Amino acid sequence: MLNLAKRPPLVLKLGTSVLTDGTRKLARRSILEIVRQVAHLHDQGQPVVVVSSGAIAAGREALAYPALDRSLPGKQMLSAVGQGRLFQIYTELFGIFGITVGQVLLTRGDLNNRVGYLNARDTLQTLLAYRVVPIINENDTVATEEIRVGDNDNLSALVANLIDAELLILLTDQLGLFDADPRTHPDATLIPYVERIDERIWALAGGTTSGLGTGGMITKLQAAQLATRSGTTTVIAAGKLPNALIEIAAGKRIGTTFATQTSRRESRKRWVLAEKPIGELVVDDGAAQRLRENGASLLAVGVRAVRGSFERGAPVQVADLTNRLIAVGIVSYGSAEISQLLGVHSTKIANVLGYSYGEEIIHRNDLVLVP
């Protein structure tokens, strides 16, 4: 079976301004410097997921800066031209360190949909289990206004939530959040730590934009809010500082750190409990005991009956043979599949179904015990 990465992953978001070093071209040297740091963390066993902008900038460079209007199809065209080139650079630069990268393109639509959410999560976790560094960007080519995240700051926070990241680092061309705009107020000072993102903090971000990228300080704060609410500590720092990434990952205060507003566990619990269960699984005494006492995952071997009709990703109740409610969880398999898997050993799932979404019917991370 897979040797799933045990350390909670770290999400690193690289803005266009970091990748171009403020120029009109992708700056390989600056990218290499960051890749070197990611490789260092990776070699220490720290799983890292990269969310990278830069596709549009790469496309613009490849087409020699065409005069385009600001319409979405124009940007999508640039992104389509640039994404492959951007990924090629990562492939080469990570290759120097013997690291394989995997390209993941997502939209908000994929993550809002439960099956899409689970599929994206499982793919990312499998990439990490195989020690591949995922390089994520928004799937600009297919993203229409309704399903776009629109900026990679917010996308990186959604990804952090998706994979239960401990830390989200947004590297940008600014040192962090200041108590006034440093470009107009030379005496502005950096705010090293934000306990809560309140009105005062929002006001500080007003109107800050950073050159070529989509996001300014506002979208970074939105990302910090989203991530810290799901239990991920968030740091905004300058990509240019030597060893910034390694030092932040080691716990050194660089840039602005945003405190978590809840634990990751609490946040997952809320996620699981957010929806009304639409089905039920009845489990045998052994499974009931393992769930109650060890907080184990629910395996097919202990499931006796399925009630209701539901898809993979649905919230369901888990009850024991006396009909007592044990837990609520998000299933990795739909009701039709589970009906075929009753009492089946986890290693035999693929033999029965012809495919497998993993060994668990409900993974322990997606299970909340009912007292």
Catalog residues that contact ligand GLU under the rule CB under 6 A. 16, 53-57, 79, 137-138, 140, 151-152, 213-215
The distance of closest approach from Cβ of residue 267 to ligand GLU in the complex, given in angstroms and rounded to an integer, is 24
Nearer to ligand GLU, 140 or 173 (CB): 140
Minimum CB distance to ligand GLU smaller for 213 or for 279: 213
To ligand GLU, the closest distance from the beta carbon of 97 in angstroms equals 23
Nearer CB in complex with ligand GLU: 155/344: 155
- In the 8-state DSSP scheme, what is residue 237? E
- Closest separation in Å from C-beta 259 to ligand GLU: 24
- Closest approach of Cβ 307 to ligand GLU, in Å? 44
Query: DSSP of 266-308, one letter per residue?
Result: HHHHHHHHTS----EEEE-HHHHHHHHHH-PPEEGGGEEEEES
Buried b (16+ CB within 10 A) or exposed e, 17-40: bbbbbeeeebeeebbbbbbbbbbb
Of 110 and 337, the one with the shorter C-beta distance to ligand GLU is: 110
Residue closer to ligand GLU, measured from CB, 173 or 360 = 173
Which residue type occupies 178?
Answer: F
Q: Which two tokens stand for residue 67?
A: 């005069």
Nearer to ligand GLU, 83 or 317 (CB): 83
Quote the least distance from Cβ 53 to ligand GLU, whole Å: 4
Helices 152-162, 217-229: crossing angle, 10 deg rounding: 10
The CB-of-172 to ligand GLU minimum distance in angstroms stands at 10
Structure tokens, 37: 């740091």
Question: By C-beta, is 128 or 170 nearer to ligand GLU?
Answer: 170
Find the shortest distance in angstroms from Cβ 35 to ligand GLU.
17
Question: Which tokens hold the place of 125?
Answer: 């976790």
Residues 269-291 as b or e (16 or more Cβ within 10 Å = b): bebbeeeebebbbbbeeebbebb
**Residue 132: both structure tokens together:** 């591949």
Residues in the chain: 371
3-state secondary structure 199-213: HHHHHHHCCCCCCCC
